[in-house]
């Protein structure tokens, strides 16, 4: 529920109620996040969103003291709240920024959970932060909170700033070095983007990470879009990466501790992260891409069927495998169709199957390896489906196809060489016809990579 100030005046809470305040607020994931926490922990409360500007904040605060037991703050209110707090956590005093407030008998106690949330999020991606050199891009509210928590964990932190003045101001508050964006050099292990650069799909990365050869992890505090250009660069360079969704969920878990003394397990955190990534991908599928299905394409053995089933399960979609659909309609294996009627007959059946897919909704469709090599099939599928290319390396394809007996195109001598030349011929065509190209860094969870890319 999103209320403006006038609507909040008329609002009567039915049970314990928490709110997130800020402007703009419509795209905040906090209401979904805390509703999930409530379901998982069994703590019964409502969580609403309030659209409040800095001018409206004093009036909203007066009402909050009557109607709420706590609230979160987002841009641009994290600093606005400071003079109104009756008590402030040490980190809040240091960083002059609060994102969580507990209301107790009309008194306000402010906390900041962004920094500790981010430290936990980094630890999901790296075993230790000990002896790591961390560079934070930006010196605003998030950077202060993050730097403060990292320094408290014993990490050496530098911030990248646009002016000497900003750098000096930052270093006077927190024991961090500063560097101007133009002077960044190669001595960092972990890079954190705490600027808003990347929030627009067409933003360039805030820095060129090829300058930083030592990097082992890139974290972007932005989670919408899920895959900023900075994260794409990290992925393409084989560097571990993550977006700000994990920080959002983990900072939310700390807020729950302050409001309700809730102890939230890692399993709950993991399950909520998966749900939020899935619901964000579904929203982007419809709103950004204007599509209602997902089509997976790529070379035989790239995992279209296995990954497709897992993806459908994660996002609550149906699953259709085009080859299986054709086999069940013809009551015959594909190898048999090929040997009895020839490849061209099979391709006609495949075209009809693609056409049928235009009537589907909320479905993940796994295509055959040759389906979109016919460009008209790709055009038919793209009418209402997002065409995603699962771009696997050749050595992985070799491994996956070992011992395969049900693929007519592999019924040849010198299979190894045949696979290689077919792979080289088809890969550029998948790339050209698909709307998204997903690669899979070692150890990556395939469904997660796809959800991040949508």
Asked if residue 214 binds ligand NAP (CB under 6 A), the reply is no
In the residue annotation, 78 being an active-site residue is answered as yes
- Show contacts with ligand NAP in window 139-158 (CB under 6 A): 139-143
Nearer to ligand NAP, 123 or 415 (CB): 123
- Show contacts with ligand NAP in window 192-211 (CB under 6 A): 194-197, 199, 206
Nearer to ligand NAP, 77 or 155 (CB): 77
Total residues binding ligand NAP (CB under 6 A): 24
- The sign of the CA dihedral 48, 261, 140, 159 is negative
Candidates 215-223, 293-301, 396-404, 437-445 — which segment interacts with ligand NAP by CB under 6 A?
A: 215-223
Yes or no: say if 298 and 392 are a contact pair by the CB < 8 Å rule: yes
Q: Which residues does 304 contact at the CB level (< 8 Å), separation at least 6?
A: 296, 297, 298, 321, 366, 367, 390
Least distance (Å) from ligand NAP to the CB of residue 385? 30
Q: Which residues does 199 contact at the CB level (< 8 Å), separation at least 6?
A: 222, 224, 225
Nearer to ligand NAP, 12 or 172 (CB): 172
- Which of 234, 248, 264, 353 binds ligand NAP (CB under 6 A)? It is 248
- Which of 228, 251, 363, 367 binds ligand NAP (CB under 6 A)? It is 251
Asked if residue 221 binds ligand NAP (CB under 6 A), the reply is yes
Neighbours of 373 (CB within 10 A): 18
Residue 114's alpha-carbon distances to 92, 224, 243, 258, 405, in angstroms, are: 11, 17, 14, 13, 53
Beta partners for residue 294, in sequence order: 364, 386
Asked if residue 226 binds ligand NAP (CB under 6 A), the reply is no
- Choosing from 78, 291, 325, 392, which is the catalytic residue? 78
Looking at beta carbons, which residue is closest to ligand NAP? 140
d(CA 441, CA 190): 18
d(CA 306, CA 295): 13
d(CA 180, CA 167): 8
d(CA 159, CA 178): 5
Yes or no: say if 125 and 240 are a contact pair by the CB < 8 Å rule: yes
Asked if residue 75 binds ligand NAP (CB under 6 A), the reply is yes
In the stretch 82-121, what mask flags binding to ligand NAP with x, by CB under 6 A? --------------------------------x-------
Least distance (Å) from ligand NAP to the CB of residue 140? 2
Active site residues: 78
The site for ligand NAP (CB under 6 A) is made up of 75, 114, 138-143, 162, 166, 181, 194-197, 199, 206, 221-223, 244, 247-248, 251
């Amino acid at each position: 529920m999103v209320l403006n100030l006038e609507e909040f005046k008329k609002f009567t809470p039915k049970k314990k109620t928490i709110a997130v305040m800020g402007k703009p607020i419509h795209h905040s994931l906090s209401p979904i996040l805390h509703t999930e926490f409530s379901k998982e922990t069994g703590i019964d409360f409502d969580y609403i969103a309030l659209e409040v500007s800095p001018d409206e904040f004093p009036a909203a605060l007066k009402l909050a003291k009557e109607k709420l037991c706590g609230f979160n703050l987002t841009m641009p209110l994290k600093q606005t709240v400071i003079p109104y707090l009756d008590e402030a956590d040490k980190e809040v005093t240091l960083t002059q920024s609060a994102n969580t407030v507990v209301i107790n008998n009309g008194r306000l106690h402010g906390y900041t959970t962004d920094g500790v949330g981010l430290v936990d999020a980094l630890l999901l991606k790296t075993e230790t932060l000990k002896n790591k050199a961390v560079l934070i891009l930006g010196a605003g509210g998030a950077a202060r909170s993050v730097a403060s928590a990292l320094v408290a964990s014993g990490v050496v932190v530098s911030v990248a700033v646009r002016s000497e003045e900003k750098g000096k101001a930052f270093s006077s508050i927190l024991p961090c070095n500063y560097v101007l964006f133009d002077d960044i050099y190669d001595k960092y292990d972990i890079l954190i983007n705490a600027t808003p650069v990347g929030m627009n799909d067409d933003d360039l990365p805030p820095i060129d990470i090829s300058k930083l050869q030592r990097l082992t992890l890139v974290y972007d505090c932005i989670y919408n879009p899920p895959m900023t250009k900075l994260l794409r660069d990290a992925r393409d360079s084989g560097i571990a990466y993550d977006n700000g969704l994990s920080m959002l969920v983990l900072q939310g878990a700390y807020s729950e501790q302050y409001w309700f003394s809730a102890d939230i397990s890692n399993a709950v955190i993991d399950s909520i992260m998966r749900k939020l990534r899935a619901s964000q991908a579904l929203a982007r599928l419809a709103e950004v891409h204007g599509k209602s299905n997902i089509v997976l394409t790529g070379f035989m053995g790239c995992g279209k069927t296995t990954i497709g089933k897992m993806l459908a399960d994660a996002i609550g979609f149906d699953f259709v495998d085009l080859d299986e659909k054709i086999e069940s309609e013809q009551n015959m294996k594909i190898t048999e169709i090929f040997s009895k009627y020839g490849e061209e007959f099979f391709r006609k059946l495949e075209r009809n199957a693609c056409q049928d897919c235009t009537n589907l909704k909320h479905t993940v469709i796994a295509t055959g390896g040759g389906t979109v090599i016919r460009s008209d099939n790709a055009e038919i599928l793209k009418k209402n489906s997002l065409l995603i290319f699962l771009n696997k390396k050749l050595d992985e394809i070799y491994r996956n196809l070992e011992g395969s007996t049900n693929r007519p195109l592999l019924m040849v001598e010198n299979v190894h060489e045949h696979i290689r030349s077919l792979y080289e011929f088809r890969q550029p065509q998948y790339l050209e016809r698909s709307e998204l190209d997903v690669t899979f860094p070692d150890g990556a969870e395939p469904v997660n990579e796809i959800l991040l890319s949508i």
